Amino acid sequence: MDETPNKNPLGRLIPEKNHFLRTNLGRFNLRKFNLAEFSLNKLNLVKRKIKKIDLTRFSFSRFGLSGKKAGVISVVLLVVLVIVGIQVYNTGYDVYINGIPVGTVRSKAEAKDAIAELTQEIGAGYETGDIVVGAALDIKKVKLSDNRLTDKDVLKKNMMKNISIKRPAVTVMIGGSPVLSIMGREQAEKLLEDIKASFIPDGKGIETDRIYIKEKVELLEQAVDINKLMIYEDAYKFLLNGTTEEKVYTVKKGDSLWLISRNNNISVEDLEKANPGISPKRLQIGQKINMIVPKPFLTVVTEEIATYSEKIPFDTDYKQSSEFYKGESIITKYGKYGKKEVTARIIKENGVEVTREILEETVVEEPVTRLVALGIKPPPPRQGTGTFSYPARGRITSGFGWRWGRRHNGIDIALNSGTPVKASDGGTVKFAGNYGGYGLLVIIDHGEGYETYYGHNSKLLVKKGDKVHKGQTVALSGSTGNTTGPHLHFEVRKFGVPVNPIQYLDQ
Ligand SMILES: [Zn+2]
């Protein structure tokens, strides 16, 4: 019989070579016993029995028995028949499938019938394709010491458990090792193509140049046990993840990656591997987290040509300036990123970048250098001098006192956002932070009951407790808090009572 199952054009059941009886019969077939077949000189067994019944005078001769001796023989035969009869009653067959005992029957035919029925039943379930039933049947004659015959249904059930059913399939070999088997070459090829396709990078300006599997992949056509065949979906998951198992965790209230790691016995590192791009600080309730670290059987390499724009960082120039006190560093011009168009060849393995070769770069916009002034002016003592100077130069847009039915506790100086706001006198920072309608506010205590307030800033450069000297830049102006536009709100207070700053400002 041809062992290649594919070559059967009828799609019918093909038993394996060793499918049918390989019986281990005794020296003769007791079931078929009858006198006519009985040949004394061939039966040592009978001789033994005869000896046992102590017929010592009996002597064998194949031919030419004397009349007297013939009489003796008929007596002996009778005895033998009785013995053989008992033996028939006590004889059965142990049945083995593929070397595994599956039961005991009275006759060989029962075993043969059972396997034949089973084979037919199995065949009926696979009408669409060839299958190969692997069932090496062994029958061994045994004495039945007790009544231990196996019921036919039980026998078939036991047989079924040990029968191997194979179908012609395609085994995907990766790097020379079988990884999985799937029905049909077409499906196997689709599987590999789909896996490759799943790594095709997409996005604007990306062109896939090449895509291939790094390992040597072969498709081997062979008969495979049906229990080892994978359906397409499982095969896909198996190749990519190393398992068909799926385990997903749903984020609950109060969860952190660390808690999930501890409660599920998986390291935080593995969780991050299993969930690329996960942000441990931004877990959301209901978010699904993959709990299985993929261990792919293959490496899909993609080579893409990507065109993208990239920021060009700016430089910073530091310049000494006598406008600011020593220790102050003030940005006098903000830097700005430049822009360039880049074309690169990017090689990824299973979606993870391994190399990037820049092919071309074009500057679209030059970066703007940031300028920082480093103060060199010797600072005055960090305490109140008793006189106050303007915190910044600008048009006074609102004076002190009652205005539109409300008391204005200071003066407003119109300033562009980002203008340095300087301490009106030396002292200690009493407050630096956000304060209601004042926005970002600095309060400096100058001693002798005097305090100055600087409101609506965009940035604070001091903190509570800092000692500042007169003229030190403490903030950059802005329009935080309750304002209609960028300006500095400046107050002078004496023992907590706002006074008109104009009367205290000396320059
Ligand atoms: Zn004001």
How confident is the model at residue 402, as a pLDDT?
A: 85
Q: Does 43 lie in the same domain as 13?
A: yes
Selected residue with higher pLDDT from 280 and 486: 486
Among 81-85, 225-229, 392-396, 469-473, the minimum mean pLDDT is found in 81-85
Average pLDDT over residues 146-164: 87
Q: How far is CA 470 from the centre of its chain?
A: 62
Confidence grade of residue 429 (pLDDT, cut at 50, 70, 90): very high
Q: Which of 150, 118, 158, 142 is nearest to 19 (CA)?
A: 118
- Smallest CA-to-CA distance from 180 within 122, 101, 244, 239 is with 239
Please state the rounded mean pLDDT for residues 48-64: 35
Amino acid 11: pLDDT: 35
pLDDT at 335 over 60: yes
Say yes or no: 393 and 457 in one domain.
Answer: yes
Residue 177 forms beta bridges with which residues? Answer: 174
Q: Is residue 295 in a domain?
A: no
Q: How far is the CA of 338 from the centre of ligand 1 (A)?
A: 39
* Domain membership of residue 219 as a residue range: 169-241
What's the gap in Å between 476 CA and the centre of ligand 1? Answer: 16
State pTM to two decimals. Answer: 0.53
From ligand 1's centre to the CA of 468, what distance in Å?
A: 23
Q: What residue has token string 């006192």?
A: 401
CA of 407 to the centre of ligand 1 (A): 10
Asked whether residue 150 falls in the same domain as residue 40, the answer is: yes
Q: Are residues 218 and 130 in the same domain?
A: no
Report the alpha-carbon distance of residue 272 to residue 267 in Å, rounded: 9
Task: Determine which helix (DSSP H) or strand (DSSP E) holds 490, and give its type and residue range.
Answer: strand 487-494
Are 214 and 176 found together in one domain? yes
- In the predicted model, is pLDDT for residue 308 greater than 90? yes
Of residues 164 and 48, more confidence is placed in: 164
* DSSP H or E stretch at residue 159: helix 152-162
Residues 21 and 130 in one domain: yes
Residue 392 Cα, ligand 1 centroid: separation in angstroms? 14
Domain assignment of residue 130, yes or no? yes
Nearest to 340 by CA among 312, 305, 306, 368: 312
The average pLDDT across 311-330 equals 90
How many residues can be counted in the chain? Answer: 507
Asked if the model's pLDDT at residue 436 lies above 70, the reply is yes
Predicted local distance difference test score (pLDDT) of residue 24: 32
Same domain, 340 and 479: no
Average the pLDDT over each of 54-58, 264-268, 341-345, 399-403 and give the range with the smallest value.
Answer: 54-58
pLDDT of residue 84: 53
Q: Same domain for 37 and 157?
A: yes
Distances (CA, A) of 347 to 46, 299, 490: 84, 12, 60
Residue 165: φ, ψ to 5°: -115, 120
* CA gap 254, 296 in Å, rounded: 33
User: What is the CA(73)–ligand 1 centre distance, in A?
Assistant: 142
